[in-house]
Amino acid sequence: MSKITLGLALTSAIALSSPALAAYPEQPIQLIIAYGAGGATDLSGRALATALGPKVPQPILPVNRTGAGGATGTASVAAAEPDGYTMVVARVGSHTVNPAMKDTLPYTLDDFDFVAVYEINPVACAVAADSDIDSMETLAARVNENPGTVSYSSSGVGSLLHIAGAMALRSFGVENPVEAAIHLPMAGGGEAATAVLAGTADFICTNSSALSSFVANGQLRPLMVTTAEPVAGFDAPTSADLGKPELESLVGWSGIAGPAGLPDEVIETWRGWLEEAVQDPGFQETMDRFGSIVDLKSPEDSVAFINEQYRIFRELVDELDMRVE
Amino acid sequence: MSAPRTDFWIGVGVVALGSALALVAVPEGVVSPRNVRIAVLSPAFWPNILAWVVALMGLVLALQSLRPAKTPDEPHEAAGAMPRHGLLRLLALGVGSIAFCAFATKLGLVWASMIAFAVVLLLTGTSYRIAAVVVAILLPLALYAFFAHVAAVPIPQGIFVRLP
Amino acid sequence: MSFLDSAAAGFALVAHWESVFYLAMGVLVGVIAGAVPGVSATMAVALALPFTFALEPIYGILLLLGVYKGGIFGGSIPAILIKTPGTPASSATTLDGYPMAERGEAGRALGMALYASCIADLISNLSLILLAGWLASFALSFGPPEFFTLILFSLTIIAGVSGESLVKGLIAAASGLLLATVGLDLVYGTDRFSFGDPNLMGGLNFIAVLIGLFALPEIIDFVFRPKEEHHQARQLGGRWATLADVRRCLRSIIRGSFIGVFLGAIPGIGGAPAAFLSYAEAQRNSPNRDNFGKGEIEGVAAAEAGNNGVCGATLIPLLSLGIPGDVITAIIIGAFMIHGLQPGPMLFVTHAHMVYALFMGLILSSFLLFAIGSVAIRAFRFVADVPKSLLAPSVLVLCVFGTYAVNNTIFDVAVMFAMGWLGYLMRVLKIPAAPFLIGFILGPLLENSFRQAMLMSGGSPEIFVRGPITWTFWALTALALYLIVARLRQSWRAET
């Protein structure tokens, strides 16, 4: 046992002899990703961490802490020390859809300080290539004529896909999409797209990045994108073209947040890093390939954007009685 | 205790467990929304069935053990003898594992692992004392180096001593 | 471009020392990562991904595929040596691999694992190349009802791994299925047994349950009964798997490979069920049926053939449809996209040379796996010679680090300990652990596909007999049940 004590003493001596750094960051920073490896959030967060690598004096370690549609990882950040060493890739699902839908969520938006939103993903609605549904209007009409037969797939309750399907149908005149259309939750985003491909579900509304390869391969046909501008590779009208500009609030996004009470110094430092990272050509190229738009919003704009999206989703959830108690 | 007797009591225990799950844990632990239109889709449907299957199988096991067994004498396992202080050591290990989970992040996973290693060694004894001490110190450090620096996993450092 | 042109262009693309180098690196990294419990093949692939950003697309993807294959094989090393499956897919390997190691035949078990893995890998790659189009359309016809009947059929393997008492096996399986329901409800998003705890909402982590259930009871038992060290010489034994061994197991290896190919082509199942199904089928057909679970080399062969058979086949839906078969291929799709390649039917038109280059690289990988695997086995075999009093606490520390690393939370470590005590209790009561694990793995697949099918049909059960695939699986399930009952009656008669 005495050797163990000796070992302890030795190693502590080594650790203490390293020069102390006063400024943030003086140790590696954990960047929690509340969704699984290979998903949109994961790729975005890892691309960001890679871009930040040479610019940050300490390593940024992306950590996947998955479960409960992003709630497990997000809640763990909400409960962490606001010292700037535990940050989270905030995402549309975990930070607006989930809080809007679930009363039982172990966190609220107030538990976070947002550094910035840095990326926007357009949302697209699509059907299988051999489907006879050729437009959003046809789709809505089909739902109204035969309630309970048309289904849409999602990556689970409280995901962007879940609310997007309902919101799109509603703005095209389906009075109660929760009753009239079938919501088919799958175990993940990839499975949700596969379900449409295989004919298990009739349509899907999700981030354009999740659909782009299927669209390019002619396996899925897009019906609509929800941005003001057309999305490259998607031969489909925008929601503005279709006279539904209100659907523009239906976009995916990623941002950086930390537990509420972050010191100003931390937020400022992160802002600086993000400003540099979004200039990084490698980062831009990666985001581009995934069909994301790099768009670093100011702190005020970010918070306003998130709150506005939350408010719109919350209203929809209340009207349609989609609340999960 | 002969094997059929043990099985009888296992069966009784499993029936109790299954019924407790079905009657207490499922109603308490599973939240069912009010607007479930199709009964088989209720969140509680599946856990309920499984809990009853557990209870039913426990009953079958208990009844089976009452069947007059003409099994040729069960191979007598010498393991039946209770080792000295065996239960005491198990108790120590149990307390140890709880303590580990409670304090490992505060203390630092590396240091806690060294202590855990030492505790297991003290419980079991060893004839390789020097090797044991070396492994107890080096293994957690090597694992730390691998996970923190190769696999980029932030291993909790604790509040006392930080490793590079 | 004709087939020959594409093939020639593909060959030109792959015939560089770099492709062999990166593939070999990938396999090596994979084997090492797979051999560390907790670092699953998935995690290894995710970690390797950023390194491929800077590489040529073909090298990057070959590197990742190498990691994947190496990882799945590497998992069998600790499964055999310390009863700790390195990746979930190798849990079936522990059933016979560890008893063999206990008997002093670790070298033979490891050698057989390697032979079976490489043969299965080769068969899987060839199936990918020859049958991709056909299997892909088959995979697409698997909706939730077909999935449900397939998983239901897979549950019949419980009978094969229950050991002496089928009833106890069923108790274990039902408990495993029940434990898998912890977490948020799929359809309604409500809490199930999570009592508001965010950690429980995500459900119990698979790897924590796996390691706890298999590795810890061994350690707890050793603490309870520490003296056995001196009675039991746990040596390697100089014996290596012989060609005669391989020939004897060849039927099981080939059967297992095709089971792996079949299940791998269907998105969403993964290696662990394939390994168990292959194991159960081997047992059903083996003359040494009763020796399974007690150190039967054919069991090791079947399990490893099943899980490596999946590897090549998961690329079938990836390449031909652009859909990921499991988490690992989801990451590999990410790598394709980072390099501006979009997997799917168009890839065969726009980047045919790339596809052929991949095919050639894959064939090569089977042989590299064999070469690197043989070296790795020799390097790791010394573990079998470590005295148990040192091995037990070392495995404990290894499990703690590995389990922590999966999700970076101490909660998973607590789950692992809890499962360890549960596993120990089950061991004392002679309740088998394998059915519990199978229930835990298949539970969510079974329940989710059942409920998705009911959502699709609006509650009508007719959907479960909607086509020839469902009928086939119902028939297979009935046949399996008939065989189980027939065997039970036989053994009853023998008793009375």
Residue in chain A nearest C335 by alpha carbon: A38
Pairwise CA distance, residues C183 & C203, whole Å: 4
DSSP 3-state of C369: helix
Q: For residue C430, with 0-12 CB atoms within 10 Å meaning exposed, 13-18 middle and 19 or more buried, which class applies?
A: middle
Please indicate, yes or no, if residue B142 is contained in any of the structural domains.
yes
Which position has the higher pLDDT, C231 or A284?
A: A284
Pairwise CA distance, residues A218 & B66, whole Å: 65
Does residue B51 carry a pLDDT above 80? yes
Does residue B60 carry a pLDDT above 80? yes
Distances in Å between the alpha carbon of B106 and those of B99, B111, B161?
11, 10, 10
Q: In what order do the strands lie in the sheet with A86-91?
A: A60-64, A29-33, A86-91, A252-259, A112-121, A293-294
Size of chain B, expressed as the number of residues it contains: 164
Percent of chain A with pLDDT over 90: 61
Please indicate, yes or no, if residue B143 is contained in any of the structural domains.
yes
Q: What is the dihedral of CA A45, A47, A52, A54, to 10 degrees?
A: 150
Among candidates A183, A191, A197 on the partner chain, residue whose Cβ is nearest the Cβ of C140 = A197
The answer to whether the CB atoms of B164 and A324 lie below 8 A apart is no
Q: What are φ and ψ of residue C162, in 5° steps?
A: -85, -10
Q: For residue C243, with 0-12 CB atoms within 10 Å meaning exposed, 13-18 middle and 19 or more buried, which class applies?
A: exposed
Please indicate, yes or no, if residue B78 is contained in any of the structural domains.
no
Pairwise CA distance, residues A206 & A192, whole Å: 9
Q: One-letter amino acid identity for A258? A: G
Residues 6+ apart with CB under 8 A from B134: none
Range of the domain at B32: 3-68
Pairwise CA distance, residues A90 & A74, whole Å: 8
The answer to whether the CB atoms of C401 and B126 lie below 8 A apart is no
For residue A126, give both structure tokens. 């699509």
Interface test with A, best of C201, C206, C341 (most A CBs within 10 A): C201
Number of neighbouring beta carbons within 10 Å of residue B6: 14
Q: Which residues of A touch B162 (CB under 8 A)?
A: 15, 27
Q: Which residues of B touch C429 (CB under 8 A)?
A: 6, 10
Please indicate, yes or no, if residue B116 is contained in any of the structural domains.
yes
Q: What 8-state DSSP symbol labels residue B40?
A: G
Query: Average pLDDT of C441-466?
Result: 92
Pairwise CA distance, residues C152 & B80, whole Å: 38
The answer to whether the CB atoms of A63 and B163 lie below 8 A apart is no
Cis before A25? omega within 30? yes
Count of CA atoms in the C-beta half-sphere (13 A) of A177: 24
Q: For residue C463, with 0-12 CB atoms within 10 Å meaning exposed, 13-18 middle and 19 or more buried, which class applies?
A: buried
Residues 6+ apart with CB under 8 A from C387: B126, B127, B128, C229
Pair B90, B145 in one domain: yes
Among candidates C47, C187, C191 on the partner chain, residue whose Cβ is nearest the Cβ of B152 = C47
Q: How confident is the model at residue B69 (pLDDT cuts 50, 70, 90)?
A: low
Q: Which residues of C touch A156 (CB under 8 A)?
A: 184, 186, 189
The answer to whether the CB atoms of B104 and C413 lie below 8 A apart is yes
Query: Average pLDDT of C408-417?
Result: 93
Please indicate, yes or no, if residue B74 is contained in any of the structural domains.
no
Decide if A290 contacts C337 (C-beta within 8 A): yes
CATH 3.40.190.150-classified regions of chain A = 29-121+251-320
Pairwise CA distance, residues C430 & C163, whole Å: 9
Q: What is the pLDDT of residue C42?
A: 81
Q: What is the pLDDT of residue C234?
A: 52
Q: How confident is the model at residue C207 (pLDDT cuts 50, 70, 90)?
A: confident
Which of B38, B68, B98 is where one domain is finished?
B68
Among candidates B58, B64, B143 on the partner chain, residue whose Cβ is nearest the Cβ of C398 = B143
Pair B95, B131 in one domain: yes
Decide if A226 contacts A121 (C-beta within 8 A): no
Q: What is the pLDDT of residue C30?
A: 92
Q: Report chain B's mean pLDDT, rounded to a whole number.
A: 86
Residue in chain B nearest C398 by alpha carbon: B143
The answer to whether the CB atoms of A71 and C198 lie below 8 A apart is yes
Q: What is the pLDDT of residue B129?
A: 87
Residue A214 near chain C (CB below 8 Å): yes
Percent of chain C with pLDDT over 90: 45
Query: Average pLDDT of C335-350?
Result: 79
Query: Average pLDDT of A215-237?
Result: 90
Which of B42, B68, B94 is where one domain is finished?
B68
Please indicate, yes or no, if residue B127 is contained in any of the structural domains.
yes
Q: How confident is the model at residue C464 (pLDDT cuts 50, 70, 90)?
A: very high
Among candidates B133, B157, B161 on the partner chain, residue whose Cβ is nearest the Cβ of A4 = B133
The answer to whether the CB atoms of B83 and C495 lie below 8 A apart is no
Residue A46 near chain C (CB below 8 Å): yes
Residue A1 near chain B (CB below 8 Å): yes
Q: What is the 3-state secondary structure (H, E, C) of A213-236?
A: HHHHCCCEEEEEECCCCCCCCCCC
What pLDDT digit, counting tens, does each position of B7-23 carry?
899 999 999 999 999 99
Interface test with A, best of B111, B126, B129, B141 (most A CBs within 10 A): B111
Q: What is the pLDDT of residue C352?
A: 84
By mean pLDDT, which of A148-162, A214-228, B70-84 is the weakest?
A: B70-84
Q: Residue A123 pairs with which residues in a beta bridge?
A: A207
How far is residue C346 CA from its own chain's centroid?
30
Decide if C298 contacts C112 (C-beta within 8 A): no
Q: Which residues of A touch B157 (CB under 8 A)?
A: 27
- Dihedral of CA C274/C276/C281/C286: which sign? positive
Q: Which residues of A touch C53 (CB under 8 A)?
A: 50, 282, 286
Does residue C149 carry a pLDDT above 90? yes
Interface test with A, best of C185, C205, C207, C407 (most A CBs within 10 A): C407
Q: For residue A315, with 0-12 CB atoms within 10 Å meaning exposed, 13-18 middle and 19 or more buried, which class applies?
A: exposed
DSSP 3-state of A138: helix
Q: What is the pLDDT of residue C228?
A: 52
Q: What is the pLDDT of residue C148?
A: 94
What pLDDT digit, counting tens, does each position of A259-281 carry?
999 999 999 999 999 999 999 99
Query: Average pLDDT of A62-71?
Result: 87
Q: What are φ and ψ of residue C266, in 5° steps?
A: -90, 120
Residue in chain A nearest B159 by alpha carbon: A12
Q: Report chain C's mean pLDDT, rounded to a whole number.
A: 87
Give C321 to chain A, closest Cα distance, Å: 8
The closest of A173, A137, A114, A129 to A297, measured between CA atoms, is A114
Pairwise CA distance, residues C42 & C39, whole Å: 8
Which position has the higher pLDDT, A181 or B85?
A: A181
Residue A324 near chain B (CB below 8 Å): yes
Does residue C231 carry a pLDDT above 50? no
Q: Write out the CATH class of domain A123-249.
A: alpha beta
What pLDDT digit, counting tens, does each position of A3-12 carry?
444 444 444 4
By mean pLDDT, which of A11-25, A204-218, C151-165, C365-379 is the weakest?
A: A11-25
Query: Average pLDDT of A133-137?
Result: 94
Highest averaged pLDDT of the listed ranges A130-134, B30-34, C486-490? A130-134
C129: left (phi over 0), alpha (psi -120 to 50) or beta: alpha
Q: What is the pLDDT of residue C323?
A: 80
By mean pLDDT, which of B23-27, B68-72, C76-80 is the weakest?
A: B68-72
Q: In what order do the strands lie in the sheet with A182-185?
A: A182-185, A151-154, A203-207, A123-128, A220-225
Distances in Å between the alpha carbon of A239 and those of A134, A293, C92?
15, 17, 52
pTM over 0.90: no
Residue A69 near chain C (CB below 8 Å): yes
Q: What is the pLDDT of residue A17?
A: 38
The closest of C10, C8, C105, C21 to C55, measured between CA atoms, is C21
The closest of C472, C450, C471 to C461, measured between CA atoms, is C450
- Dihedral of CA A58/A59/A62/A65: which sign? negative
Q: What is the dihedral of CA A241, A246, A250, A251, to 10 degrees?
A: 60
Q: What is the pLDDT of residue B81?
A: 64
Q: Which residues of A touch C342 (CB under 8 A)?
A: 212-213, 216-217
Q: What is the pLDDT of residue A203?
A: 96
Residue in chain A nearest B36 by alpha carbon: A179
Pair B62, B24 in one domain: yes
B108: left (phi over 0), alpha (psi -120 to 50) or beta: left
Say which CATH topology domain A29-121+251-320 has.
D-Maltodextrin-Binding Protein; domain 2 (3.40.190)
Task: Look at chain B and report how many structural domains it folds into.
Answer: 2
Which position has the higher pLDDT, C340 or A195?
A: A195
The answer to whether the CB atoms of C397 and B140 lie below 8 A apart is yes
The answer to whether the CB atoms of A325 and B33 lie below 8 A apart is yes
What pLDDT digit, counting tens, does each position of C251-296 carry?
999 999 999 999 998 887 888 899 999 999 999 888 888 888 888 9
Q: How confident is the model at residue B78 (pLDDT cuts 50, 70, 90)?
A: very low
Please indicate, yes or no, if residue B160 is contained in any of the structural domains.
no
Interface test with C, best of A35, A64, A72, A183 (most C CBs within 10 A): A72
Q: What is the pLDDT of residue A36?
A: 81
Q: How confident is the model at residue B72 (pLDDT cuts 50, 70, 90)?
A: very low
The answer to whether the CB atoms of C459 and B41 lie below 8 A apart is yes
What is the distance in angstroms between the CA of the first residue and the CA of the last residue of chain A?
54
